[in-house]
Amino acid sequence: QGAQIAFGSLDHDASLPVEVTAESLSVDQGDGTAVFSGDVVVGQGTLRLSAARVLVVYGSGGASSGKISRLEASGSVVLVLGEDAAQAQGAVYSIDTATIVMTGDVLLTQGDNAVEGQRLTVDLNRGTGAMEGRVRTVLTPASDKP
Amino acid sequence: MRSYDNAYSRFIAAAKIVFPLAALGLLSTLFMISRDHGSAGNGDGLPYAKVEIDDLLRQQRLGAPNYAGVTRDGTAISMRADSARSDPDRPGRGEAQAMQARLTLPDGSSAEIQANTGSIDTSDRVAVLEGDAKISTSTGYTIETDRLRSAFADTNVEADGPVTANGPPGRIEAGSMTLSADPSDKGRYLLVFKDGVRLIYEPEQ
């Protein structure tokens, strides 16, 4: 079963420039594959996606088209959007469709509430997140707060 | 000599003597009057003007030198420059102007390098290219830096200063850059931007 969650703010602009910082970027001269590695941070507007390794996947026109279809992040991935955060083993950020799919022991935290599952699909334009796969929600009642 | 009654036979008899002599004369001009070179002919047949020859001699300069070789791992390197001269106080070192190099790597990719000046050190088998050094790779990356080194023995192009580049993913700034074989997989060649990389990608909506 899935849980629909409001995730992040509604004013995410998918046409903003995407900035990727990392320790290194290596490009295979044979087929042009580009991989960022070493505390990689993908930023766009208020979105921050950090991971150990990010693979650049180009659109249908291939590398020469210069259009990036998606960024595949792996290795302790953390997504921060506004004051919501989610962590998982892997994430795929499709820039054109402005969606992020996080997979593998996903833990989403909003304030004191936490939701666990296997797969989180975030729609940046609509500001929603759908968690699927053995979803467990942990709500901390207001009175227990220290 | 028999006399003939008609003009035609007389003409033929005379021709039998005159023509061979004329032929002999023509043939002899082939050897005796040789073509004189230069003095009357035009002077611009020579590729170098006199002043440039003195210049070349005084500076021991090479006009349009080029180098071609293959590295141990099979990359073909060809280098050429407008001019080069040997470094008088350091044997084995040469300075070159407007240096250009082209690398054709075994994985089918290639890279063109150019710079204002270049110095070649044949003892440690490295070419240092300086001054608006530019590299353009067949994978669509154009990289600009101040100084880079290109080895002759194996495939290793390295810029240790900051580099800026444009490529398929967008605009890239990095602390340094290398183009060399992948240590873990010899057949693969990697263009690596290191020491902090920043990429800006503009998604055109």
All residues of chain B having their beta carbon less than 8 Å from the beta carbon of residue A14 are 203, 205
All residues of chain B having their beta carbon less than 8 Å from the beta carbon of residue A16 are 203
DSSP H or E run through A142: none
Q: Provide the domain limits for residue B180.
A: 62-201
Beta-carbon-side half-sphere exposure of residue B36 (alpha carbons within 13 Å) = 5
How confident is residue B34, by pLDDT bands cut at 50, 70 and 90?
Answer: low
Based on the fold, state whether residues B16 and B77 are members of the same structural domain.
no
All residues of chain B having their beta carbon less than 8 Å from the beta carbon of residue A23 are 194-197
Nearest beta carbon to residue B188 from set A19, A23, A30? A30
CATH number at residue B124: 2.60.450.10
Summarised one tens digit per residue, pLDDT across range B47-84 is 667 777 776 666 666 777 788 889 999 999 998 888 87
Are A101 and A121 within 8 A, CB to CB? yes
Question: Does B192 contact chain A (CB < 8 Å)?
Answer: yes
φ, ψ (nearest 5 deg) of residue B38: 85, -50
C-alpha distance from B188 to closest chain A C-alpha (Å): 7
Q: Specify the 3-state DSSP secondary structure of B28.
A: helix
Question: Does B38 contact chain A (CB < 8 Å)?
Answer: no
In whole angstroms, what is the distance from residue B20 CA to residue B13 CA?
Answer: 12
Please tell me which residue of chain B has the smallest CA distance to A26.
Answer: B192
In whole angstroms, what is the distance from residue A136 CA to residue A139 CA?
Answer: 10
Based on the fold, state whether residues B53 and B123 are members of the same structural domain.
no
All residues of chain B having their beta carbon less than 8 Å from the beta carbon of residue A30 are 107-109, 188-189
Based on the fold, state whether residues B169 and B90 are members of the same structural domain.
yes
Highest mean pLDDT among B32-36, B95-99, B126-130: B126-130
Q: Do residue B139 and residue A29 have CB atoms under 8 angstroms apart?
A: yes
Based on the fold, state whether residues B163 and B99 are members of the same structural domain.
yes
Which of B20, B38, B59 is the C-terminal boundary of a domain?
A: B59
Based on the fold, state whether residues B178 and B89 are members of the same structural domain.
yes
Based on the fold, state whether residues B123 and B162 are members of the same structural domain.
yes
Q: How many folded domains does chain B comprise?
A: 2
What the block records as the tokens of B60 is 């021991």
In whole angstroms, what is the distance from residue B103 CA to residue B105 CA?
Answer: 6
Summarised one tens digit per residue, pLDDT across range B108-123 is 999 999 999 988 877 7
What the block records as the tokens of A23 is 């320790």
Which of B31, B59, B87 is the C-terminal boundary of a domain?
A: B59
Task: Enter the DSSP assignment of A64.
Answer: G
Question: Does A106 contact chain B (CB < 8 Å)?
Answer: no
Based on the fold, state whether residues B39 and B98 are members of the same structural domain.
no
Residues in CB range of B179: below 8 A, 6 or more apart: A29, B103, B111, B135, B137, B155, B156, B157, B158, B189, B190, B191, B192
Task: Enter the DSSP assignment of B18.
Answer: H
All residues of chain B having their beta carbon less than 8 Å from the beta carbon of residue A17 are 200-203
Q: Where do we find the tokens 């070493």?
A: A38
Q: Do residue A25 and residue B179 have CB atoms under 8 angstroms apart?
A: no
Which of B59, B80, B98 is the C-terminal boundary of a domain?
A: B59
Interface of A with B in 1-20 (CB under 8 A): 14-20
* Residues B117, B122, B127, B128, CA torsion sign: negative
Residue A11 above 80 pLDDT? no
All residues of chain B having their beta carbon less than 8 Å from the beta carbon of residue A54 are none
Based on the fold, state whether residues B66 and B115 are members of the same structural domain.
yes
Are B151 and B73 within 8 A, CB to CB? no
Based on the fold, state whether residues B75 and B96 are members of the same structural domain.
yes
ipTM greater than 0.90, yes or no?
no
Residue A2 above 70 pLDDT? no
In whole angstroms, what is the distance from residue B113 CA to residue B137 CA?
Answer: 9
pTM exceeding 0.80: no
End-to-end CA distance of chain B: 109
Please tell me which residue of chain A has the smallest CA distance to B167.
Answer: A66
The predicted structure's pLDDT at residue A45: 86
The predicted structure's pLDDT at residue B1: 58
DSSP H or E run through B134: strand B126-137
C-alpha distance from A18 to closest chain B C-alpha (Å): 5
Tell me the β-bridge partners of B21: none
Q: Specify the 3-state DSSP secondary structure of B65.
A: coil
Summarised one tens digit per residue, pLDDT across range B147-170 is 999 998 889 999 999 999 999 999
In whole angstroms, what is the distance from residue A135 CA to residue A118 CA?
Answer: 7
Query: Of B26, B196, B5, which Cα lies nearest the Cα of A37?
Result: B196
Based on the fold, state whether residues B118 and B189 are members of the same structural domain.
yes
Based on the fold, state whether residues B66 and B37 are members of the same structural domain.
no
Based on the fold, state whether residues B49 and B140 are members of the same structural domain.
no
Q: Do residue A63 and residue B168 have CB atoms under 8 angstroms apart?
A: yes
